[in-house]
Amino acid sequence: MKISMLMEILEATLLTPDSDLECEVHDACGSDMMSDVLAYVKDQGVLLTGLNNPQVVRTADMMDMVCIVFVRGKQPDQTILDLANSRDIAVLSSNMTMFTACGLLYKSGLRGGRL
Amino acid sequence: MEEIKLHYDVPGDDFTRAGEASADLKSRLKKLGIPSAAVRKVSIALYEGEINLAIHAGGGAIDVVIGGESLTMILSDHGPGIKDISLAMSEGFSTAPDEVRSLGFGAGMGLPNMKKYSDDFDIESQVGVGTNVTMKVYFDA
C-alpha cells in the first residue's frame, strides 16, 4: 500500500511535506509501547502510535520503518518532525482512534508482519 | 577491513537524547556496507541498551569495535546494579518508574530484546557497583 493510500484511508494530514507519498508500506504495527515495537521485525513498515515524543521516531528509524501515523489527533512538535525528516520517515496525523485506524488498514489489506 | 573503535557517552539526565549513539552507529555501518539485517540487529540491541543506561543507570559508556566479520558492543555503567539477573532477563519484568512507562518504555522488554538481537550476549552486574553488558553481532548470521 502506498503512503498516499494510507493517508486517504485514515483521513490523515501529512506533516512532512517533502515525503515521498509513492513509497510502499508492507507491514503495520500499532502500539504506544516502543519496546513492543522493537521486539518484532517489520519490513517497510508503518508505525501507528498515540505516543508523542522523539523516541517514536528513533524507534521507527531503528526498525527501518518508512512512515509514522500519530493517532487520536496527536500533533508532534517541530523537533520530532525535524528528526523524522532527517531519517526520511513520513509523518501523518489522524483524528481516528488507534482501534479504528488499525481496523481500517487491516480491512484494506495491510497486515501486522511476522513475530 | 581494519578494525574500527568507537566510544559514546550516554547522558543520564536527558532521556530524549537516548538513541543518538545507535543512530550514529547505524549510519556508519550503512556507509561501511554492512549487511542490512546485521545493521538492524545492532541498532535495536544498542538502542535498547542506551534506553536502559538512561533510565536505570544515570548514564554510562558504550564502546564499539567493528571488525571484518562481526561487531562487539560493550555497555558499562556505575548504576545501582541488578540484584537478580535471571529475573531481569525475563520478558515483562520491569523496575522502571511510571514516568518512563509514559514515555513508551519500561515494559520489561529491554534486556530480552538486547539478547534477542545479539548473536552473543553476556551480562555482569554487582549491586552498588554497576553493570557491564557485552553484545556481539556477526555480519553474516
**CA distance linking residue B136 with residue B141, whole number of Å:** 11
Q: What is the pLDDT of residue B100?
A: 85
**CA distance linking residue A80 with residue B135, whole number of Å:** 29
Q: Touching check for B23 and chain A: CB below 8 Å? A: yes
**CA distance linking residue B105 with residue B97, whole number of Å:** 10
In a domain, A114, yes or no: no
In a domain, A57, yes or no: yes
The values of phi and psi at residue B76, to 5°, are -130, 145
Buried b (16+ CB within 10 A) or exposed e, A24-48: ebebbbbbbbbbbbbbbbbeebbbb
- Find out whether A43 and A112 touch, Cβ atoms under 8 Å: no
> Hey, are the CB atoms on B40 and A63 less than 8 Å from each other?
yes
pLDDT surpasses 80 at A114: no
Residue B76 belongs to domain with CATH number: 3.30.565.10
Match 528513533 to its residue by C-alpha cell.
Answer: A58
Nearest to B44 among A53, A62, A87 (CB): A62
In a domain, A80, yes or no: yes
The string of pLDDT tens digits covering residues A48-76 is 999 999 999 999 999 999 999 999 999 99
Pairing verdict, β B130-138 and B120-126: antiparallel
> Hey, are the CB atoms on B104 and A61 less than 8 Å from each other?
no
Look up residue A79 and give its amino acid. T
Residue A17 belongs to domain with CATH number: 3.40.1390.20
The string of pLDDT tens digits covering residues A35-53 is 889 887 667 799 999 999 9
In a domain, A56, yes or no: yes
With a cut of 70, which residues of chain B have pLDDT below it? Answer: 141
> Hey, are the CB atoms on A38 and B104 less than 8 Å from each other?
no
**CA distance linking residue A12 with residue B89, whole number of Å:** 39
Residues 6+ apart with CB under 8 A from B73: B42, B45, B46, B49, B62, B63, B64, B133, B134, B135, B136, B137
Q: What is the pLDDT of residue A52?
A: 95
Match 485506524 to its residue by C-alpha cell.
Answer: A101
In a domain, A58, yes or no: yes
Q: What is the ipTM of this complex?
A: 0.86
In a domain, A35, yes or no: yes
Q: Touching check for B106 and chain A: CB below 8 Å? A: yes
Q: Touching check for B110 and chain A: CB below 8 Å? A: yes
In a domain, A113, yes or no: no
> Hey, are the CB atoms on B19 and A62 less than 8 Å from each other?
yes
- Number of domains, chain A: 1
Domain range for B125: 4-138
**CA distance linking residue A45 with residue A27, whole number of Å:** 5
Domain range for A46: 3-107
- Number of domains, chain B: 1
> Hey, are the CB atoms on B104 and A41 less than 8 Å from each other?
no
Q: What is the pLDDT of residue A115?
A: 60
Nearest to A55 among B26, B103, B112 (CB): B103
Provide, as residue numbers in chain A, all residues whose Cβ is less than 8 Å from the Cβ of B105.
33-35, 55
Q: Please report how many Cα atoms fall inside a 13 Å half-sphere around the Cα of residue A42, on the Cβ side.
A: 26
The string of pLDDT tens digits covering residues A89-110 is 999 999 999 999 999 999 999 9
